[in-house]
A and B are shown apart, each in its own frame.
Chain A
Amino acid sequence: DAMVIQNPRYQVTQFGKPVTLSCSQTLNHNVMYWYQQKSSQAPKLLFHYYDKDFNNEADTPDNFQSRRPNTSFCFLDIRSPGLGDAAMYLCATSRTAARGAMNTEAFFGQGTRLTVV
């Protein structure tokens, strides 16, 4: 049974048209991550939530935003997608007992492949 679910699996959007990717989890993990993976590259962390606390990576463009309305759901909003934003977007979750404590294993969803036309 899938524990981290991303929707949709494939998304085609027009240049400049806002798009939202979703991630849900049944693990009750308190940490959720969004990674961007371009072709033949390693996943790159965009941001993560520790509970409701949002943590942005310094080099994540302002074009990328995120929302976490509750423990189970997290959204990635791309305000004005450009051709360079075409990639696989991976959501992951993990559990941390306390801030600064060691994480458990990170579980990844199946990813959303974004195409910008």
Chain B
Amino acid sequence: ELKVEQNPLFLSMQEGKNYTIYCNYSTTSDRLYWYRQDPGKSLESLFVLLSNGAVKQEGRLMASLDTKARLSTLHITAAVHDLSATYFCAAGRGAQKLVFGQGTRLTINP
């Protein structure tokens, strides 16, 4: 059974600092997604990672995938308040299923 674990679950950081959120998954997965969720809102797709060594960047966020280690990271560079949200990773195996991590609640303080 595919299981996905994120850490940390809560992260409070100052503006301008860098940090990384980790996502481990338990069995072979053929795709890894990162989503952002604001309070009371739905999931916004950030990145889709499909192959070993994939790296994608959008603004201050960069995601990478190491399929051998079964690890994906979401790196935040020079954080700004607008990035405060809950971030989920999700892994998929087989045709249709996506299994989500627990989420990382990120708070960025001025």
Contacts and interface: CB of A to CB of B under 8 A. Distances in A.
A42 B102 contact: yes
A71 interface: no
Contact of A42 (B33, B50, B88, B96): B88
A90 B98 contact: no
Interface of B: 30-31, 33, 35, 40-45, 48, 50, 88, 90, 92, 94-103, 105
A101 B95 contact: yes
19 contacts: A33-B98, A42-B101, A42-B102, A44-B100, A45-B98, A90-B43, A102-B30, A103-B95, A103-B96, A105-B33, A106-B45, A107-B45, A108-B35, A108-B42, A108-B44, A110-B41, A110-B42, A111-B41, A111-B42
A75 interface: no
Interface string A29-68: 0010100000011111100101000010000000000000
A81 interface: no
Contacts of B35: 108
Interface of A: 31, 33, 40-45, 48, 50, 55, 88, 90, 92, 94, 96, 99-103, 105-111, 113
A105 B101 CA distance: 17
Contact of B43 (A31, A101, A102, A108): A108
Contact of B100 (A42, A55, A107, A110): A42
A107 B48 CA distance: 11
A95 to B, nearest CB: 11
A92 B99 CA distance: 13
Contacts of A33: 96, 98
Contacts of A103: 31, 92, 95-96
